[in-house]
């Protein structure tokens, strides 16, 4: 029995729970804006040295922020997914909340989060915490969905075996649930880190007027090099980033993928099993063998204490009814707080004049067009390339690792280079903005197309050859229907990436100048720079509502169509 993993996308229609979640987000935004009113007028940034000898230090700082956000994401995903999978009352709220939050353009929160934290925390602490929170929100959603999906799809026979052996929650988690979910969590962790680099670079580069929120790291190094027009320093910074990504791939992700194959449920051995030279080296180490034995003994002692502390329980949902009263009380208090926040936000929005609402409408149309153009360009090249890689194992064996490495390079790190190249051309910033959106969308589409093409059954390929189908007929009858669900899944994620990129692509401070391209992202950044917090709140809410509505009314309908008509069974 073979298991396949992909990010879960739900096809819910727009329901009352979605409206409740949107009100919750609006209340959070209002709190952030109110805090931002007390933010300092001037923030002094760090001195960024362009000497290459500082690059190891900057790389270490960037890596530390990524690791902190990832550990926080794993802890949140395990707790959140467990509660949603084993508590029906909680699931009714937690899963719609997660479904909407993954659709929200996280970079639209960046100005609010930075200014809000700056109002009551020391400056360096506020900026570091905002960076970690931003990366966390880019990594956590697909990890949570993967963990939740694994818990809800545990084979029935394994559940029955755990009940027969009278496993308590800890033993079941350690010996059944975590091993079953490990392959999916590792692959989604790789995707989370790739997305996290994008948001890390954006946070490290962020400046607003006289407020310099930059952080010592690879992102601020690249921005400083671009501001000075130092091409040599830009190349040094990009080289350091690529080297760091390749090292993580070789010493972390490839060994983990090779190790995780022991947890896959398959009846036959794979034709192309994952390999890692570093994993093979670790397995042959006597020191690590001794360390593993010591950790195993410690694990046994912990297991014994857990069994004595929490004896056998028939179900993780035991005690749910006893907790229902407390859950209802918490829900009422939370609803009251959200209602108050929404009312206060409405008062603040009433201060936005009609002319600015018209400006928001024009910006929304402009950004939507850029998102659409970037998606069309991405689909045009990722479909043929992804199909070629997915349907050719020899090509995939050497090209897919290269693509994974290139995809991990965040588009925000390359954006200063694009601005330098295109700013002098007519419509230069518009071209640069579309290019940045394209680089933020294309990899989601490419990897999903590769996954879809690689799952086409071999017998269908043979049948198409026996029928003598032409190249166009093979695409129309076999390939396009087979990859359609994966293409829509990638497009949903890619659309969110393009909206996120608009925040940093449409308002750029470069070489002492401020460059603007009409759009919603430009309004968000400009209103932050000018301190127009009602406009900031209005434009941010407009972007969130627009993205959620597009997902619900367009992408989800296509996804439902894909599940009904083009599912491979």
pLDDT of residue 36: 63
pLDDT of residue 6: 40
Highest mean pLDDT among 41-45, 162-166, 344-348: 344-348
Judged by average pLDDT, the poorest of 69-73, 86-90, 181-185, 369-373 is 86-90
Mean pLDDT of 456-478: 79
User: pLDDT (tens digit, 9 = 90+) per residue, 102-161?
Assistant: 666 676 667 777 777 777 777 778 788 888 888 888 888 878 877 887 787 777 777 777
Percent of all residues in the chain with a pLDDT value above 90, rounded to a whole number: 9
pLDDT band with cut points at 50, 70 and 90 for residue 74: very high
Mean pLDDT of 170-195: 79
Q: Measure the CA angle with vertex 320, ends 318 and 321; round to 5°.
A: 115
Mean pLDDT of 340-350: 80
pLDDT beyond 80 at 25:
no
**How do the domains of the chain map onto residue ranges?**
15-41+48-263+272-280+287-325, 351-569
User: Average model confidence (pLDDT) for the chain?
Assistant: 77
pLDDT of residue 35: 66
pLDDT band with cut points at 50, 70 and 90 for residue 3: very low
Highest mean pLDDT among 90-104, 236-250, 303-317: 236-250
- By the 8 A CB rule, do 389 and 403 touch? yes
pLDDT of residue 372: 92
Judged by average pLDDT, the poorest of 266-275, 304-313, 388-397 is 266-275
pTM, rounded to two decimals: 0.74
Q: Which residues pair with 212 in a beta bridge?
A: 207
pLDDT band with cut points at 50, 70 and 90 for residue 368: very high
Percent of all residues in the chain with a pLDDT value above 70, rounded to a whole number: 79
pLDDT beyond 60 at 274:
yes
Q: Which residues pair with 507 in a beta bridge?
A: 516
pLDDT beyond 60 at 453:
yes
For domain 15-41+48-263+272-280+287-325, give the CATH number: 1.10.3720.10
pLDDT band with cut points at 50, 70 and 90 for residue 72: very high
pLDDT of residue 391: 81
pLDDT band with cut points at 50, 70 and 90 for residue 31: confident
Please report which helix (H) or strand (E) contains residue 450, including its range: helix 428-454
pLDDT of residue 514: 73
Highest mean pLDDT among 51-60, 161-170, 318-327: 51-60
pLDDT of residue 268: 44
C-alpha 80/C-alpha 143 separation (Å) is 10
C-alpha 509/C-alpha 529 separation (Å) is 11
270-292 b/e (C-beta count within 10 Å ≥ 16 → b): eeeeeebeebeebeeeeeeeeee
pLDDT beyond 50 at 543:
yes
pLDDT band with cut points at 50, 70 and 90 for residue 312: low
pLDDT band with cut points at 50, 70 and 90 for residue 427: low
Which pair of tokens denotes residue 253? 């992700």
pLDDT beyond 80 at 79:
yes
pLDDT beyond 50 at 320:
no
Question: 3-state SS string over 385-440?
Answer: HHHHHHCCHHHHHHHHHHHHHHHHCCHHHHHHHHHHHHCCCCCHHHHHHHHHHHHH
pLDDT beyond 90 at 365:
yes
- 137 Cβ neighbours under 8 A, 6+ residues apart: 101, 106, 109, 199
User: pLDDT (tens digit, 9 = 90+) per residue, 209-251?
Assistant: 566 677 888 888 887 887 777 888 888 988 898 888 888 888 8
Torsion of CA 220, 221, 223, 225, to 10 degrees: 160
- The dihedral built from the CA positions of residue 466, 468, 469 and 474, taken in this order, carries a sign that is positive
Q: Mapping DSSP to helix (H, G, I), strand (E, B) and coil, where does residue 72 land?
A: helix
pLDDT beyond 80 at 187:
no
pLDDT of residue 273: 62
C-alpha 212/C-alpha 48 separation (Å) is 12
pLDDT beyond 60 at 324:
no
pLDDT beyond 60 at 10:
no
User: pLDDT (tens digit, 9 = 90+) per residue, 241-251?
Assistant: 888 888 888 88
Mean pLDDT of 481-505: 81
**What's the CATH fold of domain 351-569?**
MetI-like fold (1.10.3720)
Domains 15-41+48-263+272-280+287-325 and 351-569 alike in fold:
yes
Mean pLDDT of 420-445: 76
Mean pLDDT of 252-258: 83
pLDDT of residue 211: 66
172-195 b/e (C-beta count within 10 Å ≥ 16 → b): bbebbbebbbbbbbbbbbbbbbbb
More confident residue, 366 or 295: 366
Judged by average pLDDT, the poorest of 280-294, 311-325, 375-389, 442-456 is 311-325
Which pair of tokens denotes residue 159? 């559940």
pLDDT of residue 150: 78
pLDDT of residue 175: 78
pLDDT band with cut points at 50, 70 and 90 for residue 563: low
């Amino acid at each position: 029995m073979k298991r396949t993993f992909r990010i879960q996308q739900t096809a819910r229609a727009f329901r009352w729970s979605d409206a409740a979640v949107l009100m919750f987000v609006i209340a959070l935004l209002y709190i952030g804006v109110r805090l931002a009113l007390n933010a300092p007028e001037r923030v002094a940034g760090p001195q960024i040295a362009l000497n290459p000898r500082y690059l190891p230090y900057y790389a270490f700082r960037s890596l530390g922020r990524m690791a902190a956000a990832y550990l926080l994401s794993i802890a949140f995903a395990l707790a959140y997914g467990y509660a949603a999978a084993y508590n029906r009352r909680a699931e009714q709220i937690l899963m719609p909340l997660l479904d909407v939050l993954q659709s929200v353009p996280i970079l639209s929160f960046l100005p609010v989060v930075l200014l809000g934290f700056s109002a009551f925390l020391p400056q360096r602490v506020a900026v570091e915490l905002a960076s970690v929170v931003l990366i966390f929100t880019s990594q956590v959603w697909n990890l949570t969905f993967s963990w939740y999906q694994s818990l809800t799809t545990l084979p029935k026979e394994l559940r029955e075996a755990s009940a027969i052996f009278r496993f308590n929650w800890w033993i079941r988690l350690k010996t059944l649930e975590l091993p079953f979910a490990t392959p999916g969590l590792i692959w989604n962790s790789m995707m989370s880190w790739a997305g996290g680099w994008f948001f890390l670079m954006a946070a490290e580069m962020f400046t607003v007027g006289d407020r310099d929120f930059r952080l010592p790291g690879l992102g601020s190094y690249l921005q400083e090099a671009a501001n000075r027009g130092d091409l040599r320093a830009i190349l040094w910074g990009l080289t350091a980033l690529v080297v760091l990504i390749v090292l993580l791939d070789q010493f972390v992700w490839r060994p983990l993928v090779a190790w995780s194959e022991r947890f896959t449920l398959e009846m036959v051995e794979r034709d192309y099993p994952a390999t890692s030279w570093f994993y093979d080296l670790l397995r042959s180490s006597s020191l690590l063998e001794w360390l593993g034995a010591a950790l195993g003994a410690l694990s046994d002692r912990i297991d014994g204490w857990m069994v004595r502390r929490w004896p056998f329980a028939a179900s993780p949902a035991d005690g749910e009814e006893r907790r229902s009263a407390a859950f209802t009380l918490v829900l009422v208090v939370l609803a009251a707080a959200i209602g108050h926040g929404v009312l206060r936000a409405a008062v603040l929005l009433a201060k936005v004049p009609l002319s600015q609402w018209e400006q928001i409408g024009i910006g929304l149309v402009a950004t939507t067009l850029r998102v659409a153009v970037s998606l069309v360009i991405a689909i045009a090249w990722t479909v043929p390339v992804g199909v070629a890689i997915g349907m050719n194992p020899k090509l995939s064996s050497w090209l897919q690792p290269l693509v994974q490495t290139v995809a991990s390079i965040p588009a925000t790190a390359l954006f200063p280079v694009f601005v330098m190249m295109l700013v002098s051309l007519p419509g230069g910033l518009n071209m640069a903005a579309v290019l940045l959106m394209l680089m933020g969308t294309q990899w989601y589409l490419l990897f999903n197309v590769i996954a879809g093409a690689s799952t086409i059954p071999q017998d269908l390929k043979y049948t198409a050859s026996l029928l003598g189908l032409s190249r166009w007929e093979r695409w129309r009858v076999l390939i396009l229907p087979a990859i359609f669900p994966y293409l829509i899944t990638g497009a949903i994620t890619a659309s969110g990436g393009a909206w996120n990129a608009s925040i940093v692509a449409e308002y750029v401070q470069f070489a002492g100048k401020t460059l603007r391209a009409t759009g919603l992202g430009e309004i968000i950044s400009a209103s932050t720079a000018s301190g127009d917090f009602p406009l900031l709140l209005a434009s941010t809410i407009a972007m969130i509502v627009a993205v959620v509505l597009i997902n619900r009314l367009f992408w989800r309908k296509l996804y439902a169509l894909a599940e009904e008509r083009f599912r491979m069974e």
